[in-house]
Amino acid sequence: MKRWHIVAAICLLVVGFIFCVVPLSSQATELTLWTRIPEILDGWDYIISEFEKLHPDVRISHRLLDWARTAEILLPAFAAGTAPDLIDICDVSIMKQLGERRMFVDLTEFYSEYRDRFPMAVDVYAAVDGRYYGTPIIVSALAHIYYNKNLVEKYGITPTDDWTYSDFLDACEKLKNQGEIPIVNGNKEGLDGEHWIQALMTETIGGSGIMALLERTDPDTGPRWTDPKVVQAVQAFEDLHKRGYFIEGMAAMGQFVAHLQFAAGKAAFHHLGTWISASLAKHPEFRWGWFRFPHMAGEIGATRNGGVVSHLDLITINSSSVHQDIGLEFIEFYTRPEVSGHAFYDLCHQHPSVAGALKGKELSEFDQASIEFYETCDDNAIWFSVYLPHEVGTEHITRASTAISSGELSAIEFCKRLEKAHQDNLRAAQE
């Protein structure tokens, strides 16, 4: 036998061993989990590790998606048949489409058994036509403005929860006249602009008014995006730009860059959701405070405790998964209050959705204020862009808000285009 015959035979044996024997020797059941929130990565690592200890024959492979592009990665995976077993869905519009086609496992029975774990506010995110398809992870709210204590104290400004919108504008004017930056937000992605518009609309038409707009089914009747109170809210956002209260270059500044600017003490006010506290906790030297989004005198928001209480991210089980039973066990495990509480609060400083997860924990003043809002909010609305079809919400609210920030689009034109797009979409749905 020639030498190269022997070498070739050995190579074949090695390759054969690697591809055939090694997989056979691994008896572990593998599940794939895709999530998208980097701030709770440590929490998922803990949950997976603990779950695998309880189930030694199970391995969970976790992938973190780009938080802003989850749908774009996920939908082609479904089309190609390569979607994971467990998926973090953060989009009501996507949840609805996939839920209607039964592409997720129906969790209605699970909910009926474990209903006490989940607040009622979850339903609008997790349910499609009365059936539940996902379990929530963390809760957050959009109802506050955060402020730089050093900067406001320097100019004798004392924000409180009783501030009106006029008080807020006066404070911004004072800071601007002193050469300071009143408000820092980054609207390159359009999300900060959307949040401002949503908060202002909560004041002018209330959360219930927003939901009426979002749930509209008839293009020719019902509330419209061109109604005077809606236009008023968008004009208020535009007005903040015209007054020069926003940081220069907001239209080109990313959301996370704006966080950093605020944490670096470069501006007085920052408007974002309660998830900001986890970011600010990384800057212990920065003194910050918060106050309720100021009410506009005489508007409906002044009579209510409105805002957004969001259980946006939900874990779903792919109905094509061959490990649905293990997926159900995983969901039951991570939604145990003690597990959720440790994973998402102790390790990641986020607020778990699961009821009782924070019981017995030492909560900061901000945590208490956030929880109080989650429990007392009486005028809740869902995020615009995850409820409306993306060609309406993302295009004509999120991205269009960047055009307002750059001065290219007026508030009235914003509302007109949004109304037309929504009407066209509703007509297409009717056909």
Partner 1 sequence: MRGPAFFLLPALILYVVFVIVPLCGTVALSFTHWRGFDFRTLRYIGLSNYGKLVSDPVFWKSLFNTFVFTGVSVTLQVTVALVVALFLEQNIFLGKFFRGGYLMPAAISLVIIAIVFDLLLSPALGILKELFKPVGLQRLARFGMWFSDPKKAIWGLSLIQVWYGFGFSMFIFISGLKSIDPQLFDAAQVDGASGLQKIVYITLPLLKGTASVAFLLATMWGLSVYALPYVMTRGGPGHATEVLSTWAYYSGFQYQQMGYGSTIAIALLLLGLTVSFLIFKFSAIGKIE
Q: List 142's β-bridge partners, or say none.
A: 308
**In this complex, which beta carbon is closest to partner 1, that of residue 78 or of residue 114?**
78
Minimum separation from the CB atom of position 279 to partner 1 (A):
15
The structure tokens listed for 326 are 């293990």
Report in angstroms how near the CB of residue 354 gets to partner 1 at its nearest.
29
Residue 389 touches partner 1, criterion: CB under 8 A = yes
Q: Which of residues 281-300 bind partner 1 (CB under 8 A)?
A: none
CB of residue 236 to partner 1, shortest distance in Å: 19
Interaction of residue 122 with partner 1, rule CB under 8 A: no
Can you tell me the distance from the alpha carbon of 65 to that of 55, in angstroms, rounded to the nearest whole number? Answer: 25
Which of 41, 212, 257, 347 forms a contact with partner 1 (CB under 8 A)?
257
Asked if 243 interacts with partner 1 (CB under 8 A), we say no
> For residues 18 and 428, which CB has a smaller minimum distance to partner 1 in the complex?
428
Cβ 94 to partner 1 shortest distance, Å: 8
Strands (E), 19-106: 29-35, 58-64, 86-89
Question: Given candidates 65, 122, 253, 343, which one binds partner 1 under the rule CB under 8 A?
Answer: 253
Based on the number of CB atoms within 10 Å of its own CB, is 82 exposed (0-12), middle (13-18) or buried (19 or more)? exposed
Among 152, 251, 272, 397, binds partner 1 (CB under 8 A): 251
Structure tokens at 193: 């602009």
Residue closer to partner 1 by CB (options 210, 247) is 247
Q: How many CA atoms lie within 13 A of 39 on its CB side?
A: 22
Closest to partner 1 by CB, 41 or 409: 409
Bridge-based pairing state of the strands 138-142 and 306-310: antiparallel
Work out whether 103 is an interface residue with partner 1 (CB under 8 A): yes
Q: Which amino acid is at 60?
A: I
Sheet holding 58-64, edge to edge: 58-64, 29-35, 86-89, 314-317, 135-136
User: Strand, helix or coil at 62?
Assistant: strand
- Should residue 90 be labelled a site residue for partner 1 when binding is judged by CB under 8 A? no
Distance in Å, CB of 254 to partner 1, minimum: 8
DSSP 374-413: HHH--EE---HHHHS-TTTHIIIIIIHHHHHHTTSS-HHH
For partner 1 (CB under 8 A), the number of binding residues is 41
Q: Which amino acid is at 141?
A: A
DSSP letter string, 331-386: HHHHTSHHHHIIIIIITT--EESSTTTTTT----HHHHHHHHHHHH--EE---HHH
Smallest distance, partner 1 to C-beta of residue 6, A: 29
Residue 4 Cβ, how far from partner 1 at the closest point, in Å? 24
Q: Which of residues 158-197 bind partner 1 (CB under 8 A)?
A: 187-190
Q: Kindly tell me which residue out of 210, 258, 358, 369 binds partner 1, with binding defined by CB under 8 A.
A: 258
CB of 250 to partner 1, least distance (A): 7
- Which of 58, 260, 328, 355 touches partner 1 by CB under 8 A? 260
Buried b / exposed e along 168-196 (16+ C-beta atoms within 10 A): bbebbebbbeeebbbbbbbbbbbbbbbbb
Q: Which is nearer to partner 1, 222 or 249 (CB)?
A: 249
With CB under 8 A as the contact rule, the residue among 66, 72, 109, 161 that binds partner 1 is 72
Cα-Cα-Cα-Cα torsion 213, 214, 217, 222, nearest 10 degrees, comes to 0
Cα 290 → chain centroid: 20
Cα–Cα distance measured from residue 33 to residue 64, given in angstroms and rounded to the nearest whole number: 9
Pattern 404-423, partner 1, x by CB under 8 A: -xxxxx--------------
65 binding partner 1? (CB under 8 A): no
Distance of closest approach, residue 429 Cβ to partner 1, in angstroms: 12
Binding site for partner 1 (CB under 8 A): 71-72, 74-76, 78-79, 97-98, 101, 103, 187-190, 247-253, 257-258, 260-261, 266, 389-391, 394-395, 399-400, 402-403, 405-409
